[in-house]
């Protein structure tokens, strides 16, 4: 039977490594050879860390100890670890990742007396699954037209960021943005041009943001921007810059320039704010901006700290 | 000479096991208590030579009972019994004046050795 | 198929007696004591696992027990099955507030990693350590070896479900273990069950445990 097991060990589409308790490699499957480019004869009997120094970190060791001490299996998920062995990704989705995404497990192998003899690590290539999952998640949280986040994402993110700001006593601001006279633009130049305006505005707004900020399409021609770690006064500066950039957008329709402008309402979170209360205050500020002539930034005079 | 042994453990099974591990050679008279507070009361009543004390118990835990016993008699010989041998607990028990921390599960052999050691300590004391 | 599931008439015989429950309790006391010492070493923290009472209950009452364990507030629930001669499942509860501490305990995570789905993974990994450690030591004390399924995030049960399930006549042993990991402010609850099928083995094994003391 042993010879069959060996064939399975080397043929199965899963990387398999056997280590002794001193972390020396005792078995190295063909899959591992292929993906690591380290041949069997070079690594056998050698310390794993000689070849993969990056594995010598607390998380790996904690799991290893868990297996050795308790004889337990450990599961190293891709979501938490991304990968264990830094291998080049292969296949159709290779371009999207620097390293092959892996879902790994670590488990004990016992001798006939049930004493723990080896520690086995299995490595599954889940790059393709992760790529598909990422796309699916993206599709679910992105607005189809503009490519920025959608309202559903906003609602989840707003609650999360507001909670975080309260927990750590950090500043948090939101900006509500509306394109002025958008209906008129649509009526005069057609819906297709209206879409162009939306797309251009979204990418203009996005270009001025940090990676930690979130720009979302709130509805129709309305956008909402979440600014973590940002005081209301700083958010007003960001909003003012957005307003100026919108004015400067060089849009043309049939060779003729079309000017647009945006109105913005800013609100800084307070300890008393619920997610909806915060949005309402920003929306009220936006309404004031609209009322007082548009192409303006108004900050909520509410209970902003 | 008969030595008086007090077993403090909330588990009747643990007390039974310990009883079974103590040699039945007439050298030991055994008393039992089912929690720390009961243990403290029995300690005062019978003034045992050796006390076996569990750590996790209702009403008064083993660590507190150990402290109280030591307040009443600083020479009391108390052996802490526990499966949880985290440094922090062991250190605390020794700090409070435990004679030793005995790792569960126990066996006839380990109890025999412990009693011998305790006997030695009691002899030199006198 | 188990002999016992075929013959309802024997259901009475597979209940742990009062004395057996006492022994089981002490075995768990030892097992979880060892587990907390070993976990403390691996996690470099002070770990407390309390041993409460063992209950015999009908399998149909398990959802109620879990619901009771869940209590109010947001929770992460992690389930795992284990099987050796002793088999059953573990259900572990972490309050949402445990996330920060667990993230510190299981290494540094960037904020990006702490996004919703990775958070779940932190609970899964921590759950596997705690539940797996407890089961491993329990099996060890009873001279058994068990294997586990990977931890799974369980559906949050409907808190107020008033669906009455009819008794199955399958008796299981269940135990609730509150635990805490001190310096990280993590606490939670572990429910461990021994399946109906493994109760006969458990009875024999508990008897054997006592017999070693003569």
Q: Are residues A156 and A252 in the same domain?
A: yes
Pairing of strands A116-125, A214-219: unpaired
Asked whether the predicted pLDDT for residue C119 surpasses 80, the reply is: no
Find, among A298, A161, A269, A288, the residue nearest to A216 by Cα.
A161
Within a domain: residue A304? no
Phi, psi of A192 (to 5 degrees): -65, -40
Find, among C78, C124, C97, the residue nearest to C186 by Cα.
C97
Considering chain A, what is the average pLDDT of its residues?
92
Half-sphere exposure of A160 (CA within 13 A, CB side): 14
Q: Are residues A109 and A155 in the same domain?
A: no
Q: Which pLDDT band holds residue A34 (cuts at 50, 70, 90)?
A: very high
Asked whether the predicted pLDDT for residue A3 surpasses 50, the reply is: yes
Q: Which pLDDT band holds residue C101 (cuts at 50, 70, 90)?
A: confident
Q: Which residue has the tokens 């001490």?
A: A69
Helix (H) or strand (E) holding B3: strand B3-8
Per CB-CB distance under 8 Å, the chain A contacts of C37 are none
Partner chains of A (3+ C-beta pairs under 8 Å):
C
* Distance from chain centroid for Cα C73: 21
Q: Which pLDDT band holds residue B25 (cuts at 50, 70, 90)?
A: confident
Q: Are residues A70 and A116 in the same domain?
A: yes
Q: Which residues contact A291 (CB under 8 A, 6 or more apart)?
A: none
Q: Which residues contact A287 (CB under 8 A, 6 or more apart)?
A: A265
Contact C78, C152 (CB under 8 A): yes
Domains and CATH numbers, chain B: 3-114 (3.40.50.2300)
Chain A residue with minimum CA distance to C148: A73
Q: Are residues A150 and A275 in the same domain?
A: yes
Q: Are residues A197 and A108 in the same domain?
A: no
- What six digits make up the tokens of B51? 């006390």
Asked whether the predicted pLDDT for residue A305 surpasses 50, the reply is: no
Q: Are residues A127 and A188 in the same domain?
A: no
Q: Are residues A98 and A65 in the same domain?
A: yes
Task: Identify the CATH number of the domain in which residue A82 sits.
Answer: 3.30.450.20
Task: Tell whether ipTM is more than 0.90.
Answer: no
Tell me if there are at least 3 CB pairs under 8 Å linking chains A and B.
no
Taking only the tens place, the pLDDT of each residue in A234-271 is 999 999 999 999 999 989 998 889 999 999 999 999 98
Q: Are residues A212 and A295 in the same domain?
A: yes
- Three-state DSSP class for residue C147: strand
Asked whether the predicted pLDDT for residue C161 surpasses 90, the reply is: no
* Cα–Cα distance for residue pair B11/B31, rounded to 1 Å: 14
Find, among C144, C146, C133, C136, the residue nearest to C41 by Cα.
C133
Asked whether the predicted pLDDT for residue C201 surpasses 70, the reply is: yes
Asked whether the predicted pLDDT for residue C4 surpasses 50, the reply is: no
Taking only the tens place, the pLDDT of each residue in A126-163 is 999 888 888 888 888 999 999 999 999 999 899 989 98
Q: Which pLDDT band holds residue C5 (cuts at 50, 70, 90)?
A: very low
Q: Where are the domains of chain C?
A: 17-211
Single out the residue in A133, A158, A188 at which a domain terminates: A133
Within a domain: residue A197? yes
Asked whether the predicted pLDDT for residue C109 surpasses 60, the reply is: no
Beta-carbon separation of C40 and B86 below 8 A: yes
pLDDT of residue C108: 56
Q: Is C69 or C81 the better-scoring residue by pLDDT?
A: C81
Within a domain: residue A305? no
Task: Identify the CATH number of the domain in which residue A226 sits.
Answer: 3.30.70.270
Per CB-CB distance under 8 Å, the chain C contacts of A57 are 107
pLDDT of residue C163: 58
Single out the residue in A65, A100, A133 at which a domain terminates: A133
- What six digits make up the tokens of A121? 């690590």
Within a domain: residue A261? yes
Domain count, chain A: 2
What is the number of other CB atoms lying within 10 angstroms of the CB of residue A1? 5
Taking only the tens place, the pLDDT of each residue in A265-286 is 999 999 899 999 999 999 999 9
Q: Is C87 or C117 the better-scoring residue by pLDDT?
A: C87
Preceding omega of B9 cis (within 30 degrees of 0): no
Taking only the tens place, the pLDDT of each residue in A161-219 is 998 898 888 999 999 999 999 999 999 999 999 999 999 999 999 998 998 899 999 99
Within a domain: residue A86? yes
- What six digits make up the tokens of A135? 């796309």
Single out the residue in A133, A153, A180 at which a domain terminates: A133
Q: What is the residue range of A29's domain? A: 2-133
Taking only the tens place, the pLDDT of each residue in C24-58 is 999 999 999 999 999 999 988 899 888 777 888 88
Q: Are residues A119 and A152 in the same domain?
A: no
Question: What radius of gyration do chain C's Cα atoms show?
Answer: 18
Q: Does residue C129 belong to the interface with chain A, where contact is any CB pair within 8 Å?
A: yes
C17-211 in CATH: which number? 3.40.1550.10
Q: Are residues A150 and A129 in the same domain?
A: no
Beta partners for residue B79, in sequence order: B52, B100
- Cα distances (angstroms) measured from residue A120 to each of A8, B95, C66, C130: 15, 42, 34, 21
């Amino acid at each position: 039977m042993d010879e069959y097991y060996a064939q399975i060990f080397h043929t199965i589409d899963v990387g398999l490594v056997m280590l002794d308790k001193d972390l020396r490699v005792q078995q190295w499957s063909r899959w591992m050879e292929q993906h690591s480019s380290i041949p069997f004869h070079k690594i056998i009997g050698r310390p794993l860390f000689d070849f993969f120094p990056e594995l010598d970190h607390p998380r790996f060791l904690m799991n290893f100890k868990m297996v050795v001490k308790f004889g337990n299996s450990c599961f190293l998920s891709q979501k938490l670890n991304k990968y264990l062995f830094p291998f080049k990704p292969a296949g159709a989705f290779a371009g999207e990742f620097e390293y092959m995404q892996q879902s790994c497990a670590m488990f004990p192998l016992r001798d006939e007396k049930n004493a723990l003899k080896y520690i086995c690590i299995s490595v599954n290539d889940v790059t393709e699954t992760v790529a598909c999952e990422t796309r699916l998640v993206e599709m679910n949280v992105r607005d189809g037209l503009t490519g920025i986040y959608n309202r559903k994402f906003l609602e989840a993110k707003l609650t999360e960021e507001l909670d975080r700001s309260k927990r750590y006593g950090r500043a948090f601001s939101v900006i509500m943005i509306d394109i002025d006279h958008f209906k008129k633009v649509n009526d005069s130049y057609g819906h297709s041009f209206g879409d162009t305006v939306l797309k251009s505005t979204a990418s203009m707004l996005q270009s001025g943001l940090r990676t930690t900020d979130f720009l979302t399409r709130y509805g129709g021609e309305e956008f909402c921007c979440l600014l973590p770690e940002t005081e209301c006064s700083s958010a007003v500066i960001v909003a003012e810059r957005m307003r100026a950039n919108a004015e400067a957008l060089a849009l043309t329709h049939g060779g003729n320039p079309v000017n647009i402008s945006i109105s913005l309402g800013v609100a800084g979170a307070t300890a008393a704010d619920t997610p909806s209360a915060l949005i309402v205050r920003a929306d009220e500020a936006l309404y004031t901006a609209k009322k007082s002539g548009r192409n303006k930034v108004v900050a909520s005079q509410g209970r902003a700290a | 000479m008969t030595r008086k042994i007090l077993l403090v453990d909330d588990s009747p099974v643990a007390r039974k096991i310990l009883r079974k591990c103590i040699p039945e050679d007439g050298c030991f008279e055994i008393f039992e208590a089912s929690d720390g507070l009961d243990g403290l009361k029995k300690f005062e009543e019978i003034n045992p030579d050796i006390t076996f004390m569990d750590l996790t118990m209702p009403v008064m835990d083993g660590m507190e009972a150990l402290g109280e016993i030591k307040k009443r008699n600083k020479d009391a010989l108390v052996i802490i019994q526990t499966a949880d041998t985290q440094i922090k607990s062991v250190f605390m028990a020794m700090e409070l004046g435990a004679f030793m921390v005995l790792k569960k599960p126990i066996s006839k052999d380990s109890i025999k050795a412990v009693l011998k050691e305790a006997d030695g300590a009691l002899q030199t004391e006198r | 198929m188990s002999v016992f599931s075929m013959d309802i008439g024997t259901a009475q015989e597979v209940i742990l007696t009062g004395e057996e429950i006492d022994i089981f309790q002490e075995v768990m006391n030892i097992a979880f004591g060892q587990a907390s010492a070993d976990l403390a070493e691996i996690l470099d923290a002070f770990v407390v696992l309390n041993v409460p009472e063992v209950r015999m209950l009908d399998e149909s009452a398990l959802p109620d027990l879990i619901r009771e364990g869940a209590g109010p507030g947001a929770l992460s629930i992690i389930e795992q099955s284990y099987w050796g001669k002793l088999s059953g499942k573990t259900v572990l509860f972490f309050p949402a507030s445990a996330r920060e501490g667990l993230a510190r305990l299981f290494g540094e995570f960037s904020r990006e990693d702490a996004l919703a789905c990775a958070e779940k993974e932190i609970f899964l990994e921590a759950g596997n350590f705690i539940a797996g450690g407890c089961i491993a030591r329990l099996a060890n004390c009873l001279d058994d070896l068990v294997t586990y399924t990977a931890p799974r995030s369980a559906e949050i049960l409907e808190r107020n479900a008033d669906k009455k399930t009819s008794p199955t006549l399958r008796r299981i042993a269940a135990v609730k273990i509150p635990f805490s990991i001190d310096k990280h402010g993590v606490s939670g609850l572990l429910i461990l069950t021994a399946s109906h099928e493994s109760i006969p083995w458990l009875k024999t094994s508990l008897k054997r445990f006592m017999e070693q003391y003569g």
